[in-house]
């Protein structure tokens, strides 16, 4: 059974600036606290079919490929070659302008867990709550990097530094 987790944040960052970061497919390492490096594989740097290898701080990695792309709006990524207990795993990122200086950022994950009923239970009790927190951190990092050009590293900046982006 497919699981769905989603988070949205309204931020004081123009949608075009956020999209420029998302469209640079290798830039996830600058805004995701979980990603150490994210080199693009092949010559395609963005758009449909672009691939990257995300190397995580915990030593694991995953290949990601853009399988749906709506320029200036959204992208859908399929994750594969990862150690996680998923049959299928997709991530979606979307940016929607509210006005010239504000946008709504949305990130969602859809996945099918291995291990039958035990996997379903594990997904609903452990994975989904943890993933909601991860999504919020990634969106916060995306907003911060888009607004400042600074990378987040393993930890997000202090709340005081983030205040102008969210208030």
Q: Is the pLDDT of residue 167 over 80?
A: no
Question: What CA–CA distance (Å, rounded) separates 80 from 3?
Answer: 17
Angle between helices 159-166 and 128-148 (to 10 degrees): 80
User: What residue spans define the domains of the chain?
Assistant: 2-166
Q: Where are the beta strands (DSSP E) in 12-135?
A: 35-37, 40-41, 51-56, 61-70, 74-80, 86-97, 103-113
Sign of the Cα torsion 133, 33, 147, 15 reads negative
Contact 48, 68 (CB under 8 A): yes
Mind listing the pLDDT tens digit for each residue in 99-148?
999 999 999 999 998 888 888 888 889 899 999 999 999 999 999 999 99
Q: Regarding beta strands 86-97 and 2-11, do their DSSP bridges make them parallel or antiparallel, or are they unpaired?
A: unpaired
What is the structure's pLDDT at 149? Answer: 96
CATH number for the region 2-166 comes to 3.30.530.20
pTM of the model: 0.93
Question: What CA–CA distance (Å, rounded) separates 148 from 141?
Answer: 10
Q: Is the pLDDT of residue 10 over 80?
A: yes
Mind listing the pLDDT tens digit for each residue in 44-101?
999 999 999 999 999 999 999 999 999 999 999 999 988 888 899 999 999 999 999 9
């Amino acid at each position: 059974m497919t699981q769905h987790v989603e988070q949205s944040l309204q931020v004081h960052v123009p949608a075009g600036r956020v999209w420029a970061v998302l469209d640079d497919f290798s830039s996830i390492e600058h805004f995701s606290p979980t990603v150490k490096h994210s080199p693009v594989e092949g010559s395609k740097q963005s758009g449909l079919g672009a691939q990257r290898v995300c190397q995580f701080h915990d030593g694991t990695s995953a290949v990601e490929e853009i399988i749906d792309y709506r320029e200036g709006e959204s992208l859908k990524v399929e994750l594969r070659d990862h150690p996680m207990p998923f049959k299928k795993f997709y991530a979606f990122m979307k940016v929607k302008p509210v006005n010239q200086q504000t946008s709504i950022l949305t990130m969602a994950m859809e996945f099918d867990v291995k291990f039958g009923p035990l996997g379903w239970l594990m997904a609903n009790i452990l994975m989904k709550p943890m993933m909601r927190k991860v999504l919020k951190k990634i969106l916060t990092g995306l907003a911060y990097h888009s607004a400042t050009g600074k990378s987040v590293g393993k930890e997000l900046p202090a709340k005081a530094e983030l205040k102008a982006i969210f208030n």
